[in-house]
Amino acid sequence: MNAARIPCVGAVVRDGAGRLLLIKRGHDPEAGRWSLPGGRIEPGETDAEALVREMREETGLTVRPGPLLGAVERPGPGGSVIDIRDYEAAVTGGTLAAGDDAADARWVAAADMTRLPLTSGLAAALASWGVL
Protein backbone atom coordinates (compact mmCIF):
# COMPACT_ATOMS: atom_id res chain seq x y z
CA MET A 1 0.00 0.00 0.00
CA ASN A 2 1.32 3.45 -0.91
CA ALA A 3 1.73 6.03 1.84
CA ALA A 4 -0.49 9.10 1.70
CA ARG A 5 1.35 12.07 0.21
CA ILE A 6 0.97 15.58 1.59
CA PRO A 7 1.87 18.15 -1.11
CA CYS A 8 3.66 21.22 0.23
CA VAL A 9 5.63 24.20 -1.08
CA GLY A 10 8.48 26.23 0.35
CA ALA A 11 10.09 29.54 -0.61
CA VAL A 12 13.77 30.36 -1.02
CA VAL A 13 13.86 34.14 -0.63
CA ARG A 14 16.90 36.41 -0.36
CA ASP A 15 17.10 40.06 0.62
CA GLY A 16 19.31 42.72 -0.98
CA ALA A 17 22.25 41.67 1.24
CA GLY A 18 21.96 38.06 0.10
CA ARG A 19 20.54 36.79 3.38
CA LEU A 20 18.05 33.92 3.33
CA LEU A 21 14.57 34.22 4.86
CA LEU A 22 13.96 31.55 7.51
CA ILE A 23 11.11 30.91 9.91
CA LYS A 24 11.24 29.18 13.28
CA ARG A 25 8.63 26.43 13.23
CA GLY A 26 5.92 26.98 15.82
CA HIS A 27 4.41 23.48 15.53
CA ASP A 28 5.49 19.93 14.82
CA PRO A 29 7.00 18.50 12.81
CA GLU A 30 10.27 19.88 14.15
CA ALA A 31 8.83 22.70 16.27
CA GLY A 32 11.51 25.15 17.38
CA ARG A 33 13.77 24.46 14.40
CA TRP A 34 14.48 26.90 11.57
CA SER A 35 13.25 26.22 8.04
CA LEU A 36 12.11 27.81 4.82
CA PRO A 37 8.66 29.41 4.98
CA GLY A 38 5.92 27.37 3.34
CA GLY A 39 3.26 24.79 3.97
CA ARG A 40 0.54 22.57 2.60
CA ILE A 41 -1.08 23.08 -0.76
CA GLU A 42 -4.83 23.38 -0.31
CA PRO A 43 -7.19 21.49 -2.64
CA GLY A 44 -7.56 23.35 -5.94
CA GLU A 45 -4.46 25.53 -5.41
CA THR A 46 -1.52 25.64 -7.76
CA ASP A 47 1.97 25.55 -6.29
CA ALA A 48 2.35 29.28 -7.02
CA GLU A 49 -0.95 30.16 -5.31
CA ALA A 50 -0.01 28.11 -2.25
CA LEU A 51 3.42 29.72 -2.09
CA VAL A 52 1.98 33.24 -2.19
CA ARG A 53 -0.63 32.38 0.48
CA GLU A 54 1.81 30.60 2.80
CA MET A 55 4.34 33.44 2.58
CA ARG A 56 1.69 36.01 3.44
CA GLU A 57 0.41 33.88 6.37
CA GLU A 58 3.82 32.97 7.82
CA THR A 59 5.90 36.08 7.13
CA GLY A 60 3.60 38.99 6.24
CA LEU A 61 5.42 39.31 2.90
CA THR A 62 3.98 39.28 -0.61
CA VAL A 63 6.11 37.35 -3.09
CA ARG A 64 6.38 36.60 -6.77
CA PRO A 65 7.08 32.87 -7.24
CA GLY A 66 10.05 31.93 -9.38
CA PRO A 67 11.49 28.67 -10.68
CA LEU A 68 11.47 25.34 -8.88
CA LEU A 69 14.82 24.83 -7.13
CA GLY A 70 14.28 21.30 -5.88
CA ALA A 71 12.08 18.88 -4.00
CA VAL A 72 12.44 16.80 -0.84
CA GLU A 73 10.40 14.16 0.93
CA ARG A 74 10.08 14.00 4.71
CA PRO A 75 8.25 11.53 6.97
CA GLY A 76 4.79 12.77 7.90
CA PRO A 77 2.21 11.85 10.52
CA GLY A 78 0.75 8.36 10.47
CA GLY A 79 3.25 7.05 7.94
CA SER A 80 2.43 9.70 5.36
CA VAL A 81 5.04 11.40 3.18
CA ILE A 82 5.43 15.17 3.12
CA ASP A 83 6.29 16.07 -0.49
CA ILE A 84 7.87 19.55 -0.49
CA ARG A 85 8.64 21.53 -3.64
CA ASP A 86 10.85 24.55 -2.95
CA TYR A 87 10.72 27.55 -5.28
CA GLU A 88 12.79 30.67 -5.61
CA ALA A 89 10.67 33.73 -4.78
CA ALA A 90 11.11 37.51 -4.74
CA VAL A 91 9.54 39.89 -2.21
CA THR A 92 7.19 42.41 -3.80
CA GLY A 93 5.65 43.93 -0.67
CA GLY A 94 4.65 43.58 2.95
CA THR A 95 6.51 43.83 6.25
CA LEU A 96 8.36 40.89 7.76
CA ALA A 97 6.53 39.58 10.84
CA ALA A 98 6.13 36.01 12.11
CA GLY A 99 2.57 34.78 11.80
CA ASP A 100 0.43 31.64 11.53
CA ASP A 101 2.64 28.59 12.18
CA ALA A 102 5.88 30.60 12.54
CA ALA A 103 7.24 31.38 16.01
CA ASP A 104 9.81 33.78 14.50
CA ALA A 105 10.97 34.98 11.08
CA ARG A 106 14.26 36.58 10.13
CA TRP A 107 16.86 37.17 7.45
CA VAL A 108 19.91 34.96 8.04
CA ALA A 109 23.37 35.21 6.49
CA ALA A 110 24.73 31.90 5.17
CA ALA A 111 27.60 32.02 7.69
CA ASP A 112 25.10 32.29 10.57
CA MET A 113 22.99 29.32 9.53
CA THR A 114 25.38 26.88 11.21
CA ARG A 115 24.50 28.47 14.55
CA LEU A 116 20.78 27.75 14.18
CA PRO A 117 19.02 24.44 14.76
CA LEU A 118 17.76 23.76 11.23
CA THR A 119 15.10 21.28 10.20
CA SER A 120 16.32 17.85 9.12
CA GLY A 121 18.08 17.89 5.77
CA LEU A 122 17.60 21.62 5.10
CA ALA A 123 21.28 22.56 4.89
CA ALA A 124 22.07 19.58 2.65
CA ALA A 125 19.15 20.34 0.31
CA LEU A 126 20.06 24.03 0.03
CA ALA A 127 23.69 23.13 -0.64
CA SER A 128 22.74 20.62 -3.34
CA TRP A 129 20.61 23.27 -5.08
CA GLY A 130 23.44 25.83 -4.98
CA VAL A 131 21.66 28.09 -2.50
CA LEU A 132 24.38 27.71 0.17
Q: What is the pLDDT of residues 46-71, one digit of tens each?
A: 999 999 999 999 999 999 999 999 99
Band (pLDDT 50/70/90 cuts) for residue 19 is very high
Is 130 a member of any domain?
no
Contact in structure between 9 and 57 (CB atoms under 8 Å): no
Is 131 a member of any domain?
no
3-state secondary structure of 37: coil
pLDDT at residue 32, rounded to an integer: 92
Band (pLDDT 50/70/90 cuts) for residue 76 is confident
Give the count of domains, the chain.
Answer: 1
Is 65 a member of any domain?
yes
Is 19 a member of any domain?
yes
pLDDT at residue 28, rounded to an integer: 80
Distance CA 23, CA 28 (A): 13
Distance CA 123, CA 132 (A): 8
Domain range enclosing 106: 5-125
Outline where 3-89 has alpha helix (H). Answer: 47-59
CATH number for 105 = 3.90.79.10
Band (pLDDT 50/70/90 cuts) for residue 39 is very high
